[in-house]
């Protein structure tokens, strides 16, 4: 039997029950979710779903990330609500691929962990299952493990196994709808692979990869959450007489409105503006403080500083990692007026941490 899988939380308890109900079936977990955006989220969900399959002794296969084909399939349905016609197309897309995979493997049964999700419609899935049976000649096993306390048991199983819990369905259109009231949608703001930002999907992916290492080494751990002050730079523009000035803006730089400033005081590669607590730093000073060899600003973007390094610079200059003064890296200082426009957000957030025992 081919079990199409969408995420670890839905897959874990679902596969456990499936093994109990079909003890003589060889079950293959097929993770196929090209709707998931961005790609790093796809890899994160796949990573944790594979982990659960291995715990249950189930073979795991990760399908292709056919994102462009999925976009074409749902074109015109971008504004459909959850459980609407876009979801039907999405189910068609994934379950047909699972059926094709079953035919390749010589299997004649297909099911999906989407049946476990309280956010998905059983009626939609069963209707698609009938189409699949006619088209591919494979039976769609429409089990319902949500009844009789199944949803509660699913959540308890996920908690016991410390699974990754995503906070949105998966597709880019779902993110916009489900998080439309948020000021910042983290999933859509990331310079990856250039830099990994706090509480980003890329940081979560690294976090859960480290968790696997602990498990492989037999180290006990607990995942807990902590609150912190997060930051996202949305725009940083510096010009002089409308000519752009190439620069790099450090983490936690905040400016409430555009400013026109000049460098009033200089010392050891650091320049202080005449207003708005703006600080400039030469790239040569960055090299000195962090033992780097950057020749120009372009190289910083190509091989960016780690976040910890940016905070080290901020602490050395301002005596605290958490000052909000804009710190701007330039190749050289000029006796000109700089027009500075920084759009950034600072907001309370939370992230997971590992406690090792």
| pLDDT per position as a tens digit, 265-304 | 999 999 999 999 999 999 999 999 999 999 999 999 999 9
| pLDDT per position as a tens digit, 99-126 | 999 999 999 999 999 999 887 888 888 9
**Joined tokens for residue 108:** 């004649």
Domains of the chain by residue range? 2-175, 229-356
The model's pTM: 0.91
| pLDDT per position as a tens digit, 228-264 | 999 999 999 999 999 999 999 999 999 999 999 999 9
- Structure confidence at residue 194 as a pLDDT band (50, 70, 90): confident
CATH 3.40.140.10 fits 2-175, yes or no: no
- Structure confidence at residue 167 as a pLDDT band (50, 70, 90): confident
52: nearest Cα among 8, 95, 86: 8
What local confidence, expressed as pLDDT, does residue 82 receive? 79
DSSP codes joined into one string, 30-75: EE--TT-SSHHHHHHHHHHHHHHHHHHT-EEEEPP--HHHHHHHTT
* pLDDT score of 50 more than 90: yes
What local confidence, expressed as pLDDT, does residue 191 receive? 74
* pLDDT score of 193 more than 80: no
* pLDDT score of 87 more than 90: no
Rg (CA), the chain: 25
Burial track 118-140 (b if 16+ CB lie within 10 A, e otherwise): eebbeebbebbbeebeeebebbb
Average pLDDT over residues 37-57: 96
What local confidence, expressed as pLDDT, does residue 192 receive? 63
- Structure confidence at residue 73 as a pLDDT band (50, 70, 90): very high
**Joined tokens for residue 233:** 């730079």
d(CA 200, CA 186): 6
What local confidence, expressed as pLDDT, does residue 218 receive? 95
Task: Tell me the average pLDDT of the chain.
Answer: 93
Helices in 63-149 by DSSP H: which ranges?
67-73, 85-105, 122-136
Check: CB of residue 170 under 8 Å from CB of residue 36: yes
User: Which residue do the tokens 């476990």 mark?
Assistant: 116
The pairing of strands 139-140 and 109-112 is: parallel
Check: CB of residue 232 under 8 Å from CB of residue 317: no
**Joined tokens for residue 174:** 């779902």
Average pLDDT over residues 204-227: 96
| pLDDT per position as a tens digit, 312-353 | 999 999 999 999 999 999 999 999 999 999 999 999 999 999
Hey, is 296 helix, strand or coil?
Answer: coil
């Amino acid at each position: 039997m081919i079990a199409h899988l969408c995420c670890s939380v839905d897959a874990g308890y679902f596969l456990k029950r499936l093994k109990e109900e079909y003890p003589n079936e060889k079950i293959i977990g097929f993770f196929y979710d090209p709707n998931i955006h961005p790609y790093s989220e796809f890899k994160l969900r796949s990573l944790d779903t594979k982990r659960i399959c291995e715990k249950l002794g189930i073979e795991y296969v990760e399908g292709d990330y056919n994102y462009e084909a999925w976009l074409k399939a749902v074109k015109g349905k971008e504004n459909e609500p959850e459980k609407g016609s876009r979801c039907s197309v999405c189910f068609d897309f994934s379950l047909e691929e699972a059926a094709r995979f079953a035919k390749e493997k010589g299997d004649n049964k297909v099911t999906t962990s989407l049946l476990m999700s309280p956010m998905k419609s059983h009626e939609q899935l069963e209707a698609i299952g009938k189409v699949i049976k006619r088209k591919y000649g494979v039976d769609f096993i429409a089990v319902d493990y949500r009844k009789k306390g199944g949803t509660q048991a699913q959540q308890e199983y996920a908690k016991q196994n410390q699974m990754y819990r995503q906070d949105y369905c998966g597709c880019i259109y779902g993110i916009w709808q489900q998080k439309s009231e948020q000021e910042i949608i983290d999933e859509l703001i990331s310079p990856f692979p250039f830099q990994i930002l706090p509480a980003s999907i890329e940081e979560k992916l690294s976090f859960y990869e480290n968790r696997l290492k602990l498990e492989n080494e037999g180290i006990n751990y607990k995942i807990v959450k902590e609150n912190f002050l997060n930051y996202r730079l949305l725009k940083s523009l510096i010009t002089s007489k409308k000519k752009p000035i190439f620069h790099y803006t450090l983490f936690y730089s905040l400016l409430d409105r555009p400013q026109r400033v000049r460098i009033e005081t200089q010392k050891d590669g650091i320049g202080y503006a005449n207003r708005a607590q703006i600080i400039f730093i030469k790239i040569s000073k960055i090299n000195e403080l962090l033992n780097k060899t950057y020749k120009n600003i372009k190289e910083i973007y190509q091989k960016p500083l780690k976040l910890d390094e940016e905070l080290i610079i901020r602490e050395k200059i301002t005596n605290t990692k958490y000052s909000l003064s804009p710190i701007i890296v330039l190749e050289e200082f000029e006796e000109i007026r700089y027009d500075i426009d920084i759009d950034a957000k600072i907001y309370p957030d939370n992230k997971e941490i590992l406690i090792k025992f």
